[in-house]
């Protein structure tokens, strides 16, 4: 499809540990941030060599609203702000300027790379939020259901997640949507197993999807399994992971795609429903507290900054 002009973290296999850090640029710091971004891939590459074998990956992405300040003359064709949707549940829009998505199979290595990158940006950025995530059991959400079942596999991940020849200036980039959800686990655990499975549209223990005829219109898999006008499935690459303390826990949802439209349509289907009142019933047990749109540029973009 293309030369390896993409940040490895976009399509690399899932890890057991991840850190999502959103940053806002301090006023008057655009030039310094540009310099830091130009050096960032060197920092990442050096650590990947130092800790080879630990599946260390990172993605640095630029917020949709901040993009004009960092690259006013060249913009990804489809870059838009986080979609505004209206329905029974609220999906907040909380823009951030930069995203660091760092992951590996060792928490200390994830943390070390985050520390080095934050040091690179120095006082020119302020941390909006940092969320440390972990693999839960056999890749399950804290609700107990397997997460990411519909993810593309193998080389198909590139087709789904990476911008192609349709936008040659940004080929190898990826559109990212980020949401942090806080689960109401006591309320969830009070539901019967059958009620939980009906809300997902698949079984809990062995992760078998319901047949189409048996799937409620309000099931999560029903609301997020969409097709385009040609009957092709609308896909995204999910890098979502659970996070939590004993006081608050949930899911850090991360969507990577070659177009932002797929996520937007899924979100509308979940919140606005099918026009007949059938929204995603799972949303009654979790609350979105953030919503951000980013673009992860190809590697050549970082080199051009220098």
- Given a cut of 70, whether residue 132 has pLDDT beyond it is yes
Q: How far apart are CA 181 and CA 249, in angstroms?
A: 8
How does DSSP assign 46-73, residue by residue? Answer: HHHHHTTTS--EEEEEEETTTHHHH-TT
Dihedral sign (CA 73, 74, 76, 78): positive
Active site residues: 147
> Per residue in 84-120, pLDDT tens?
998 889 999 999 999 999 999 999 999 999 999 999 9
In whole angstroms, what is the distance from residue 20 CA to residue 181 CA? 13
pTM, entire model: 0.96
3-state class of 45 per DSSP?
helix
Evaluate if residue 252 carries a pLDDT over 90: yes
The pLDDT tens digits of the residues spanning 176-234 come to 999 999 999 999 999 999 999 999 999 999 999 999 899 999 999 989 888 888 778 89
In this structure, what are the phi and psi dihedrals at residue 178, rounded to the nearest 5 degrees?
-125, 135
The residues, any chain, with a CB within 8 Å of residue 192's CB and separated by 6 or more, are none
| pLDDT score of 17 more than 80 | yes
CB atoms within 10 A of CB 103: 24
Give mean pLDDT, residues 280-295: 96
Predicted local distance difference test score (pLDDT) of residue 228: 82
Asked if residue 1 has pLDDT above 70, the reply is: no
Pair of tokens at residue 2: 């293309």
Could you tell me which residues come within 8 angstroms of residue 76 by beta carbon, excluding any fewer than 6 positions away? Answer: 67, 163, 167, 169, 170, 173, 175, 295, 297
The pLDDT assigned to 226 comes to: 85
- Determine the 3-state secondary structure of 192 from DSSP: coil
Q: What local confidence, expressed as pLDDT, does residue 3 receive? A: 59
Residue-wise pLDDT tens digits, 146-192: 998 889 999 999 999 999 999 999 999 999 999 999 999 999 999 99
Mean pLDDT of the chain: 95
Q: DSSP letter at 209? A: B
pLDDT for 231 equals 79
Percent of the residues in the chain that have a pLDDT greater than 90, as a whole number: 88
């Amino acid at each position: 499809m293309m030369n390896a002009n993409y940040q490895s973290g976009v399509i690399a296999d899932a890890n057991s540990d991840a850190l999502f850090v959103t940053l806002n640029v301090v006023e008057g710091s655009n030039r310094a941030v540009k310099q830091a971004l130009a050096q960032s891939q060197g920092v990442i590459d050096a650590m990947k060599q130092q800790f080879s074998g630990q599946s260390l990956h990172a993605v640095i992405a630029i917020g949709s609203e901040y993009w004009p300040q960092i690259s006013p003359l060249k913009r990804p064709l489809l870059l838009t702000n986080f979609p505004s949707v209206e329905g029974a549940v609220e999906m907040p829009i909380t823009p951030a300027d930069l995203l660091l998505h760092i992951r590996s199979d060792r928490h200390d290595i994830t943390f070390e790379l985050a520390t080095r990158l934050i040091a690179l940006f120095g006082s020119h950025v302020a941390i909006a939020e940092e969320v440390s995530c972990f693999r839960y059991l056999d890749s399950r959400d804290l609700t107990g259901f397997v997460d990411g079942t519909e993810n593309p596999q193998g080389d198909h991940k590139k087709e789904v997640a990476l911008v192609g020849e349709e936008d040659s200036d940004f080929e190898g980039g990826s559109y990212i949507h980020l949401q942090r959800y806080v689960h109401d686990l006591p309320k969830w655990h009070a539901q019967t197993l059958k009620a939980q499975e009906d809300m997902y549209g698949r079984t809990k223990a062995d992760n078998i999807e319901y047949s189409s005829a048996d799937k409620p219109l309000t099931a999560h898999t029903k609301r997020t399994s969409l097709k385009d006008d040609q009957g092709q499935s609308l896909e995204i690459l999910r890098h979502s992971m659970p996070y939590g303390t004993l006081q608050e826990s949930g899911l850090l949802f991360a969507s990577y795609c070659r177009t932002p439209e797929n996520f937007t349509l899924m979100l509308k289907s979940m919140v606005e429903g099918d026009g007949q009142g059938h929204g995603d019933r799972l949303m009654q047990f979790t609350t979105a507290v953030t919503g951000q749109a980013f673009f992860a540029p190809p590697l050549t973009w970082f080199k051009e900054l220098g």
